[in-house]
Amino acid sequence: MHRRLSALRSTVAATLLAQTVVAAAADDPPAGDGAWMVELKAGRIRPSLEEYGQFYGDEETGHLAVAFGYRFLPWFELDAETQYLNDNGVGQLPSTGGPGAPVEYTLVPVHVFAKFRLERDTNALFVPYLGIGVARASYRQEIELQGEREGTTDIGPSVRAGVEILMNRLDPTGNTDPLKRTYLFIEAQQFEAKVDGIDLGGDALLIGFRFELGGP
Domain spans of the chain, in order of start: 2-213
β strands within the chain, DSSP E: 36-47, 61-73, 76-92, 99-117, 126-143, 147-152, 156-166, 179-191, 194-195, 198-199, 202-213
Name beta bridge partners: 199: 194
| 8: Cα separation from own chain's centroid | 13
Question: H or E segment at 18?
Answer: helix 2-23
Q: How does pLDDT run across 47-85, given as a tens digit for each residue?
A: 998 888 888 888 999 999 999 999 998 899 999 999 999
How many C-beta atoms surround the C-beta of residue 209 within 10 A? 14
Residue 25's pLDDT is: 41
- Kindly state the average pLDDT of the residues 178-188: 91
CB 126 within 8 A of CB 168: no
* Cα gap 69→78, rounded to integer Å: 5
pLDDT at 144 over 60: yes
Assign 29 a pLDDT band (cuts: 50, 70, 90). Answer: very low
From the candidate CATH numbers 1.10.10.10, 3.40.50.720, 2.40.160.20, 3.40.109.10, the one assigned to the domain spanning 2-213: 2.40.160.20
Range with the poorest average pLDDT among 52-56, 131-135, 165-169: 52-56
Cα-Cα end-to-end distance for the chain: 44
* Cα gap 49→143, rounded to integer Å: 17
Range with the poorest average pLDDT among 13-27, 105-119, 193-207: 13-27
Residue 97's pLDDT is: 52
